[in-house]
Chain A
Amino acid sequence: MADQPILSLDCVSKSFGGLNVIKNLSFDVRCGQRTALIGPNGAGKSTVFNLISGVFPVNSGRISVNGNDITNVPSRKRMKLGVSRSFQNIRLVQHLSVLENVLVGQTPRVTSLGDILYPIRMTSGSHWQCEAMEVLERAGLAAFARDHVGNLPYGVQKQIEIARALLGGADILLLDEPAAGLNPQETEDLSTRLHQIADSGTTIVVVEHDMQFVGAFCEYVVVLNFGEMIAEGTPQEVRRDPHVIEAYLGSDVA
Chain B
Amino acid sequence: MSGYVEGILVILLLNVIFAYAVYWPLAAGQLNLGVAGFVGIGAYVSAYASNEFGIPPYIACVGAGFVAFALALVIAVPVLRTKGIYLALATFAFGQVLQSLFLNLEIVGGAAGYPVISYIGVGGIAVCTAAVFLITAFLDRTRFGLNMVAVHDDEAVSDLFGINVRAYQALAFALGAGFAGFGGALYGHHFSYIEPQNYSILFSISIVLFVLLGGTQTVVGPLVGAAFFTLLPEVLRGSEEWRYAIFAVCIIVIMIPRPQGLITSDQLSALRQFLVRDRLREERHG
A76 touching B156 in the complex, CB below 8 Å, given contacts A103-B146, A116-B142, A148-B266: no
Q: Tell me how far the C-beta of A79 lies from the nearest C-beta in chain B, rounded to whole angstroms.
A: 5
- Which chain B residues numbered 73 to 132 have a C-beta less than 8 Å away from chain A? none
Q: Which residues of B contact A122 (CB under 8 A)?
A: 141
B143–A95 CB distance below 8 A: no
Residue of B nearest to A168 (CB): B161
Does A127 count as interface, using CB distance less than 8 angstroms? no
Q: Which residues of A contact B163 (CB under 8 A)?
A: 76, 104, 107
B146–A95 CB distance below 8 A: no
- Which chain A residues numbered 76 to 119 have a C-beta less than 8 Å away from chain B? 76-80, 85, 87, 91, 93-97, 100, 103-105, 107-108, 110, 115-119
Does A202 count as interface, using CB distance less than 8 angstroms? no
A121 touching B160 in the complex, CB below 8 Å, given contacts A95-B217, A104-B150, A148-B266: no
A80 touching B162 in the complex, CB below 8 Å, given contacts A119-B141, A148-B266: yes
- Which chain A residues numbered 156 to 189 have a C-beta less than 8 Å away from chain B? 164, 168
Does A54 count as interface, using CB distance less than 8 angstroms? yes
B144–A107 CB distance below 8 A: no
B150–A118 CB distance below 8 A: no
Q: Tell me how far the C-beta of B232 lies from the nearest C-beta in chain A, rounded to whole angstroms.
A: 28
Number of A-B contacts (CB under 8 A): 90
Does A225 count as interface, using CB distance less than 8 angstroms? no
Does B184 count as interface, using CB distance less than 8 angstroms? no
A107–B162 CB distance below 8 A: yes
Does B138 count as interface, using CB distance less than 8 angstroms? yes
In this complex, the interface size class of chain B, counting residues with CB under 8 Å from chain A, is 20 to 34
Give chain B's interface secondary structure class: helix
In the bound assembly, the distance between CA atoms of A110 and B165 in angstroms comes to 15
A76 touching B159 in the complex, CB below 8 Å, given contacts A103-B146, A116-B144: yes
Residue of A nearest to B164 (CB): A76
A55–B161 CB distance below 8 A: no
Q: Which residues of B contact A118 (CB under 8 A)?
A: 142-143
A107 touching B142 in the complex, CB below 8 Å, given contacts A93-B150, A96-B149, A96-B150: no
Q: Which residues of A contact B230 (CB under 8 A)?
A: none
Q: Tell me how far the C-beta of B136 lies from the nearest C-beta in chain A, rounded to whole angstroms.
A: 13
Does B192 count as interface, using CB distance less than 8 angstroms? no
Q: Which residues of A contact B141 (CB under 8 A)?
A: 119-122
Residue of B nearest to A119 (CB): B141
A121 touching B162 in the complex, CB below 8 Å, given contacts A93-B157, A148-B269: no
CB within 8 A of B161: which of A104, A117, A119, A148?
A104
- Which chain A residues numbered 111 to 149 have a C-beta less than 8 Å away from chain B? 115-122, 146, 148
A119–B138 CB distance below 8 A: yes
Residue of B nearest to A111 (CB): B162
Does B65 count as interface, using CB distance less than 8 angstroms? no
Does A53 count as interface, using CB distance less than 8 angstroms? yes
A168–B146 CB distance below 8 A: no
A76 touching B138 in the complex, CB below 8 Å, given contacts A95-B153, A104-B146: no
Q: Which residues of A contact B197 (CB under 8 A)?
A: none
Q: Which residues of B contact A93 (CB under 8 A)?
A: 149-150, 153-154, 157
Does B51 count as interface, using CB distance less than 8 angstroms? no
In the bound assembly, the distance between CA atoms of A95 and B69 in angstroms comes to 27
Residue of A nearest to B269 (CB): A148
In the bound assembly, the distance between CA atoms of A171 and B157 in angstroms comes to 19
Does B145 count as interface, using CB distance less than 8 angstroms? yes
Does A234 count as interface, using CB distance less than 8 angstroms? no
Q: Which residues of B contact A110 (CB under 8 A)?
A: 143
Q: Tell me how far the C-beta of B175 lies from the nearest C-beta in chain A, rounded to whole angstroms.
A: 13
Q: Which residues of A contact B160 (CB under 8 A)?
A: 53-55, 75-76, 78-79, 85
Q: Which residues of B contact A75 (CB under 8 A)?
A: 159-160
CB within 8 A of B143: which of A77, A78, A115?
A115
In the bound assembly, the distance between CA atoms of A77 and B273 in angstroms comes to 38
Q: Which residues of A contact B150 (CB under 8 A)?
A: 93, 96, 104
Q: Which residues of A contact B157 (CB under 8 A)?
A: 87, 91, 93
Q: Which residues of A contact B142 (CB under 8 A)?
A: 116-121
Q: Which residues of B contact A100 (CB under 8 A)?
A: 146, 149
Taking Cβ atoms with an 8 Å cutoff, the residues of B that contact A are 138-147, 149-150, 152-154, 156-165, 217, 265-266, 269, 273
Can you add 14 more A-B contacts, CB < 8 Å, to A80-B162, A104-B150? A79-B162, A91-B154, A91-B157, A93-B153, A93-B154, A100-B146, A104-B163, A107-B143, A107-B147, A117-B139, A119-B141, A120-B142, A121-B140, A122-B141
